[in-house]
Structure formats: C-alpha cells, structure tokens
Structure 1
C-alpha cells in the first residue's frame, strides 16, 4: 500500500466534498474527479489494523462480491494515511444507483413494489454464504438496470456454504435493528419475511 504524503492528503481533504463524517473527522469525501476517498480509523487493536489494514479488507470484500456477480464499487487504490495510527483509505469509483433508504423515504410505492426482489437478493446473499452485519437500507443500492448492489461492506464475512438458519435470522435482525434505530415504524416487515420465506420454500422444492 502506498503511503500518502502529507501535502497530497491535505489537498484531498481541502478539495473533497465531505459526504460522511463522525467525531474523529471525515469518513467519505468526494474528490473533484468523482472518485470517493473512504477513510478507516481503527478504534482499537492497532497492531491488527497495521497487519491487516481495513482498506485492504474492504477492497478484498469488493473483489469477492464482484466474483459472486454482486455489484460493488471498483477500488482504484488502497492507501496508508497514517501508518503509525493504522489509518488507511480506499479510493474508488462510486457505484451508480440510489440507496433503498432514499427510495423508501421518497418513493414509497416504488419501494414496496421492490420487496419481492429485495427478499430474493437477501436470500441470494445468504445462499452464497455472505454474512453482512451492516445489512440495511442505506447500504443496498438499486442500480440503473433495476438490480441491487452493496456498499460499506467492511464488516462482511464469507462462509464456505450457505448461512445456517440461525445466522440468516441474525442477519435479518441486523436489518430490523436498523429500522428501529432510525424510527422506521411503518416498514412492511412481515411482507419482506413472507417473500424471504417463499425463496426458502423454492430452494427446498428445488
């Protein structure tokens, strides 16, 4: 991984438009060329973050998703911003599309029509052994061709076989927790579960 000089980093910070930030600073910045700079600041276990930087894990997950024919951002470069503090970053081209969170809040009828397809997409992730802790509406995009893609997938694990029913339920609970935290009380949860169950039943018949 390339170590970014201080002047180059300062230029990125000054010229980039901040899309996400927290108490420790910017997390995602859009650069003038359209690429995104995603910054990873570890909170603990600096030794592990130096050994296996978050930027590399993020890029590896993107590559594995693409290998599964699941749309993900194309990573241009993995970088060290501060190696001593294990601060790493990725430069990548954004995935085109709109988040399901945005679609849900702005075009509810269109979102509701997507529920069966969304359930099929989540089931396909589970069938492929993909356990995505940050599975929620903000991290699933509807692509221009009508399919779905994923973003912000650092905390993702790939199992050797399909997820167990226990892990699949736990993963769905992550989505439900997101809905609770964001006070989305009228989400058609039972309809989503029903459509997901239909996918399971189709698997059994197959």
Structure 2
C-alpha cells in the first residue's frame, strides 16, 4: 500500500465532492474521475490496524462477497492516508444502483413492490452464511439488473454455513434499530418479516 502525499490528498478533497463525513473529517469523497475515496480511521489499536489495515479488510470482504455472487463496488487501489495513525483508504468504482432508503423516501409504491425480492435477498445472504451487522436501507442498492448489492460491509462476517435463528433475529434487530434511530415512519415491518418467512419456505 502506497502512502498518499499531503498534496495529493488535498487535491482529492478540494476537487472532489464530499459525500460523507463525521467528527474526525471526510469519510467518502467522489473524485473528479468518478471513483470514490473511502477513508478508514480504525478503532483498533494502531499496531494491529497497521498490520491489517481496515482498507485491506474492506477489499478482502469485497472479493469474498463477489465470489459468492454478491454485487459490491470494484476496488481500484489501497493506500495509506496516515500510516502512523493507521488511517487507510481505498479507491473504488462505485456500484451502480439506488439506495433503498432513497427509494423508500421518494418512491414508496416502488419500494413496496420490491419488498418481496428485498426480503428474499436478505434470506439469500443468510443462507450464504453472511451476517451483516450494518444491514440497513442505506447500505443496500437496487441495481440496474433488478438485483441488489452491498456498499458498506467492513463489519460483515462470513459464518460458512446458513445463519441460525438467533443470528437471524439479531440481524433483523440491527435493521429495526436503524429504522428507530432514523425515525423512519410507516415502514412495512410486518410485511417484510412475512415476506422473509415466505422466502424461507421456498428455500426448503
């Protein structure tokens, strides 16, 4: 992983479009060439974060998901923003599609029509042994081919076998907590669970 110079980083930030930030600074920036810059400020101890930086872990998860047939962004490059502080980054081609939270806000009828296939997609992830703690509407895109894809999956875990009922309940609880934090009103929660159960029956 190469170290990004201060001038190069400044050019990226000044010429790019800031898409996401937190109290520590920029997190996602769209560059002038269309690529996305995703910056990781690790919460792990600097030693471990330098040995296996978050950007590399993100790229490894992207590769694993793609091998399982799950749409993700295509990683272009991994780099260090500040190696001493374990701030890493990756450049990637964005995954084409619309976030489900935007569809829910702007096209509710369309979202309702997607609910059965969305529930079946969650079921498919669980059948593949994927435990996605950040399962929420902003992290799942509806892709042009009519499928779905994941865009923010650093905390994803691969269990190697279909998830048990306990992990499934916990995964849905993460989604429910997200909806509550965002104060999302009139979300068809019961319909989603019913569609998930219907998808489960077809998998048996």
Deviation sequence 1:117-139 (CA, Å, 0-9, x none) = 00000000000000111000000
Worse overlay, 147-156 or 43-52: 43-52
Partner of 2:98: 98
Cα distance in 2 for partners of 1:93, 1:71 equals 12
How far apart are the structure 1 equivalents of 2:121 and 2:43? 32
The answer for the alignment partner of 1:199 in structure 2 is 199
Deviation track 1:77-109 (CA, whole Å, cap 9, x = no partner) reads 011111000000000011111000000000000
Q: Does 1:107 align with 2:107?
A: yes
Distance 2:130 2:78 in 1: 23
Specify the SS of the correspondent of 1:114.
Answer: helix
Alignment of 1:41-120 (within 5 A): 41-120=41-120
Distance in 1 of aligned mates of 2:122 and 2:46: 33
User: What is the DSSP-based 3-state SS (H/G/I as helix, E as strand, rest coil) of the residue aligned with 1:57?
Assistant: helix
Gaps of 5+ in 2: none
Over aligned residue pairs, what C-alpha RMSD do you find? 0.9
Q: What is the alpha-carbon distance in structure 2 between the residues aligned to residue 165 and residue 47 of structure 1?
A: 36
The alignment partner of 1:26 has SS state of strand
Q: Distance in 2 between matches of 1:203 and 1:139?
A: 24
Matches of 1:6 and 1:161, distance apart in 2: 44
| Cα separation, 1, equivalents of 2:43 and 2:157 | 20
User: Which residue is equivalent to 2:139?
Assistant: 139
What is the alpha-carbon distance in structure 2 between the residues aligned to residue 33 and residue 144 of structure 1? 21
Aligned to 2:190: 190
Partner residue, 2:36: 36
Aligned-partner SS, 2:154? coil
Q: How many residue pairs align between the two structures? A: 204
TM-score (norm 1): 0.97
User: How far off is 1:198 after superposition?
Assistant: 1.2
Report the alpha carbon displacement of residue 44 of structure 1 after superposing the two structures with TM. Answer: 4.1
The offset of 1:43, in angstroms, is 3.2
> Where does structure 1 differ by over 4 angstroms across 4 or more consecutive aligned residues?
none
Query: What's 1:25 paired with?
Result: 25
The equivalent residue for 1:122 is 122
Q: Which runs of 5+ in 1 are unaligned?
A: none
